Amino acid sequence: MDLFTDSCWLILGLALLYLGGEWLVKGARDISLLMGISPLVVGLTVVAFGTSAPELLVSLKANLTNPPKGDIAIGNVVGSNICNIALILGVGAAIRPLTVHQQLVRREMPFLLLISLVFILLLLDESINRSEGLCLFAVVVIYTALSLRKARAASNPKSDLEIPQDGEAKSSQPHRSGALANIGLLVVGIIALVFGADRLVLGGSNIARHFEVPEATIALTIVAFGTSLPELATSIVAALRREGDIIIGNAVGSCIFNILCVVGLTASVSPLSRTPELRNWDLGVMLAFTLLLFPFVWRDRLLTRSQGVIFLAGYTLYVCYLGLR
């Protein structure tokens, strides 16, 4: 294929990932809210999983090619986590200061730091095998189940044994039709994500070969940014609607899902390996941004505009460094 065709595939893939992620998140979020789950937990679980679907599909597609493109799979996760914290939270805080829920500071953020360290340790031997991938995936299943269970318990739903009143019986039909519409939106979103991921990997890989750019660099920049577009779009909308819990929950939850679900499931299907182009420096930048989040929000439970600008500046410097190396 020529450069123009590859660029068209890349743009089409990015567009489909954005639209598919939006449809997937909207359908999943509306269904979860009907279940009585708080916005914070929705951001940490349903929205985070939905917006991490592009990373999962791109990584699976890249690792199942012949030969496997482990640098795209791993670089996509590393770059997306950097993007989630530095760019997504940076943009959200720059639009409007973000109030941070105590649960995030005391539970999810330390958990993210822990699994980030585990992820880096697993890559010391340049690969993640199937058994390590299965362990990571098992952790995300347990984490999600516990989060949803605690959320449902905290919401104190009314007993299902209560006899519905006439008005409640009449209103069940709109709820049912709304649920079906959201399920349809989920399906359309997944289809768009699958095709978009395929086109993105194809276009990105061919462009990298054309310019003799290491695929790890493409994965850390173009692919990572493209697969983070759903998170970015969700955060901008949530910031404008003053829904800070969804922004931070989405960013932190997506980072957790990227490591545990994307890396875990991808390595479970086929072992992941990396080349020297994906450097320890990139892993260090991911860890540094995660650590920087703690002093910013630990005391005041607030991510200010100036701190958001610092995140954006750091992300800009990192991307410039990738372009020069």
The pLDDT tens digits of the residues spanning 16-43 come to: 877 877 777 677 667 667 767 666 777 7
Mean pLDDT of the chain: 80
The closest of 204, 237, 217 to 281, measured between CA atoms, is 217
Q: What is the pLDDT of residue 275?
A: 67
In a domain, 170, yes or no: no
Quick one: which of 100, 31, 105 has its CA closest to 246? Answer: 100
Give percent helix, percent strand, percent coil of the chain, each to the nearest 5.
80, 0, 15
pLDDT in tens, 239-298: 777 777 778 888 888 899 999 999 999 999 888 887 666 778 889 999 999 999 999 988
Whether the predicted pLDDT of 61 surpasses 90: no
- pLDDT computed for residue 156 by the predictor: 57
Q: Which tokens belong to 89?
A: 């939270």
Closest residue by Cα to residue 31 from 186, 156, 179, 246: 179
How many CB atoms lie under 10 A from the CB of residue 172?
10
**Cβ partners under 8 Å of residue 7, min gap 6:** 203, 207
Is position 187 within any domain? yes
Q: Which residues pair with 303 in a beta bridge?
A: 98
pLDDT score, position 211 = 79
Would 169 be classed as within a structural domain?
Answer: no
Residue 277 lies in a domain: yes
Domain hosting residue 29, numbered range: 3-154+179-324
248 within some domain: yes
Is the pLDDT at 154 greater than 70? The verdict is no
In a domain? residue 94 = yes
Q: Is residue 168 part of a domain?
A: no
Q: Is residue 236 part of a domain?
A: yes
Arithmetic mean of pLDDT, 162-166: 48
Q: What is the pLDDT of residue 176?
A: 59
pTM for the full model? 0.78
- The per-residue pLDDT for range 204-222, each reduced to its tens digit, is 777 777 777 776 777 777 7
Looking up residue 264, the CATH number of its domain turns out to be: 1.20.1420.30
Number of domains in the chain: 1
